[in-house]
C-alpha cells in the first residue's frame, strides 16, 4: 500500500478534489473558495481545475448560501458548503436548525438533504472572540444532523468523502490550528468510518476522551504521564453526533478513570454530555469522579497569554489526571 504525506489542509483539499472529480453532482460553494483559495487555503487551485460553476464564490450571505445548499441537495446535487468559521455559521442557524435538520422528519420521510457543511472552529491563533469559539456542541445537540470533528489528515480527507455518501446533513468542524499538521495517508482517497470513536493511544490507567484540536494536547499529556508511570488511553471521539459511548465504556472497563478534554466551555459542553452518558451507563466502572478540562468561561481573549490560559493545555490535562489516586 503506497502512502503520501499531506497536511491536514492538503488532505481536506484532496477529499474535495476527489469528490469533484468522481461525482458530477458535487460542487463547492462558500465565501472566497474561488480565486482566493478559501480563508484557510483549503480550496486553493480548485477553481482552476474545476471552474466557477463547481467552485462557487458566494456573497457574504451565510443564510442564503447554506439554504441554497439545502435546496440544491433536495434537488439532486451533493453540495459541499464552506462557512469560514463556526462563529459565522450562526448567521445560517435558521436554515440549519429549522430546515436542514427537520425536513426528512417533518415531511414524513419524503425529503432527503444530502448536504455537507464544512467550517473552521476553535482558538489558538489570537483571533479573539468572534473567530475562535468552539460551538460544535450546539450542532451535536440537534437531531437530524451528523457532526464530525476530524483530528487527523486521514480523517480530514476520509470524513469528507463519507459525509458525501450520507443521505442526511453532515457538519464537519475543522480545528483551525490543525491545517498545517502533517500525516501519512493511503495514496488513494477513500471514505472512512464515521460511526465510531478511535483509540489513538492504548493505555490501562486512565482514559482521556477528546476530539478535534485537543487530540494533540492529550497525546502529549499521555507522554508526560507515561514518564511518571501513568499509562493513559486516548480516545478521539471523531463523531460528535451520534456519540459512540461504547468505545468509551470499553476503555473504562480497563482504566476506571475518565478525563474529558473539550475546547468548548464547560457549561453545557460536549464534555458534559459524555460525562452524563457515562453516569447513566458506566457509573459502576468508575473508581474516581469524572474530570473535565474545558475552556475558561470567557469570550476568547486576543492577548496570547490570556488565550493560552483560557484553553485546555497539556499541563491542565496532566494536572487533572494526577489529582486522581492510582
Q: How far is the CB of 196 from another protein (least distance, A)?
A: 11
- Residue in 87, 89, 95, 295 binding another protein, rule: CB under 8 A: 95
Confirm if 184 and 4 have CB atoms less than 8 A apart: yes
Asked whether position 250 contacts another protein by CB under 8 A, the answer is no
- Residue in 70, 159, 185, 290 binding another protein, rule: CB under 8 A: 70
Question: Is residue 131 among the annotated active site residues?
Answer: yes
Q: What gap in Å lies between CA 90 and CA 117, rounded to an integer?
A: 13
Total of residues contacting another protein (CB under 8 A): 44
Asked whether position 105 contacts another protein by CB under 8 A, the answer is yes
Q: What gap in Å lies between CA 127 and CA 125, rounded to an integer?
A: 6
Instruction: Name the nearest CA neighbour of 16 among 112, 156, 149, 114.
Output: 156
Q: What gap in Å lies between CA 303 and CA 310, rounded to an integer?
A: 11
Q: Hey, is 239 helix, strand or coil?
A: strand
Confirm if 160 and 153 have CB atoms less than 8 A apart: no
Q: Is the dihedral of CA 164, 165, 166, 168 positive or negative?
A: positive
Asked whether position 61 contacts another protein by CB under 8 A, the answer is yes
- Residue in 23, 94, 231, 244 binding another protein, rule: CB under 8 A: 94
Asked whether position 72 contacts another protein by CB under 8 A, the answer is yes
Asked whether position 130 contacts another protein by CB under 8 A, the answer is no
Confirm if 209 and 261 have CB atoms less than 8 A apart: yes
Question: Is residue 62 among the annotated active site residues?
Answer: yes
Asked whether position 59 contacts another protein by CB under 8 A, the answer is yes
- Residue in 4, 88, 90, 112 binding another protein, rule: CB under 8 A: 112
Asked whether position 143 contacts another protein by CB under 8 A, the answer is yes
* Chain mean position to CA 305: 25
**Cβ proximity to another protein, 143 vs 180, nearer residue:** 143
Asked whether position 106 contacts another protein by CB under 8 A, the answer is yes
Asked whether position 98 contacts another protein by CB under 8 A, the answer is yes
Q: Is 97 exposed, middle or buried (0-12, 13-18, 19+ CB in 10 A)?
A: middle
For residues 157 to 196, the per-residue mask of contacts with another protein, x marking binding by CB under 8 A and - elsewhere, is ---------xxx--------------------------x-
Who contacts 101 (Cβ-Cβ below 8 Å, separation ≥6)?
Answer: 142, 143, 144, 145, 169
Tell me which residues touch another protein (CB under 8 A).
27, 53, 56, 58-59, 61, 63-77, 79, 94-95, 98-99, 103-112, 143-146, 166-168, 195
> Where in the sequence numbering do the catalytic residues fall?
62, 131
Amino acid at each position: 500500500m503506497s502512502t503520501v504525506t499531506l497536511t491536514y489542509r492538503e488532505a481536506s483539499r484532496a477529499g474535495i478534489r476527489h469528490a469533484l472529480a468522481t461525482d458530477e453532482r458535487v460542487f463547492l460553494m462558500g465565501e472566497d473558495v474561488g480565486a482566493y483559495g478559501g480563508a484557510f487555503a483549503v480550496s486553493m487551485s480548485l477553481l482552476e481545475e474545476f471552474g466557477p460553476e463547481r467552485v462557487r464564490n458566494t456573497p457574504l450571505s451565510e443564510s442564503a448560501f447554506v439554504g441554497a445548499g439545502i435546496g440544491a441537495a433536495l434537488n439532486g446535487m451533493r453540495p459541499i458548503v464552506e462557512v469560514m468559521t463556526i462563529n459565522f455559521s450562526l448567521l445560517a442557524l435558521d436554515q440549519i436548525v429549522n430546515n436542514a435538520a427537520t425536513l426528512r422528519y417533518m415531511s414524513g420521510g419524503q425529503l432527503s438533504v444530502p448536504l455537507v457543511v464544512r467550517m473552521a472552529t476553535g482558538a489558538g491563533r489570537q483571533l479573539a472572540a468572534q473567530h475562535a469559539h468552539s460551538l460544535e456542541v450546539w450542532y451535536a445537540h440537534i437531531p437530524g444532523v451528523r457532526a464530525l470533528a476530524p483530528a487527523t489528515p486521514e480523517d480530514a480527507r476520509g470524513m469528507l468523502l463519507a459525509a458525501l455518501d450520507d443521505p442526511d446533513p453532515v457538519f464537519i468542524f475543522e480545528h483551525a490550528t490543525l491545517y498545517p499538521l502533517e500525516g501519512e495517508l493511503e495514496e488513494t482517497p477513500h471514505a472512512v468510518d464515521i460511526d465510531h470513536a478511535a483509540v489513538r493511544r492504548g493505555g490501562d490507567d486512565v482514559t482521556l476522551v477528546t476530539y478535534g484540536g485537543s487530540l494533540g494536547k492529550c497525546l502529549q499529556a499521555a507522554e508526560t504521564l507515561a514518564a511518571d508511570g501513568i499509562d493513559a488511553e486516548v480516545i478521539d471521539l471523531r463523531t460528535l453526533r451520534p456519540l459512540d459511548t461504547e468505545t468509551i465504556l470499553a476503555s473504562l472497563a480497563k482504566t476506571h478513570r475518565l478525563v474529558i478534554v473539550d475546547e468548548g466551555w464547560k457549561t453545557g459542553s460536549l464534555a458534559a454530555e459524555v460525562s452524563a452518558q457515562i453516569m447513566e451507563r458506566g457509573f459502576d466502572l468508575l473508581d474516581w469522579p469524572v474530570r473535565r478540562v474545558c475552556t475558561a468561561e470567557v469570550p476568547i481573549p486576543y492577548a496570547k497569554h490570556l488565550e493560552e490560559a483560557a484553553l485546555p493545555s497539556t499541563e491542565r490535562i496532566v494536572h487533572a489526571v494526577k489529582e486522581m489516586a492510582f
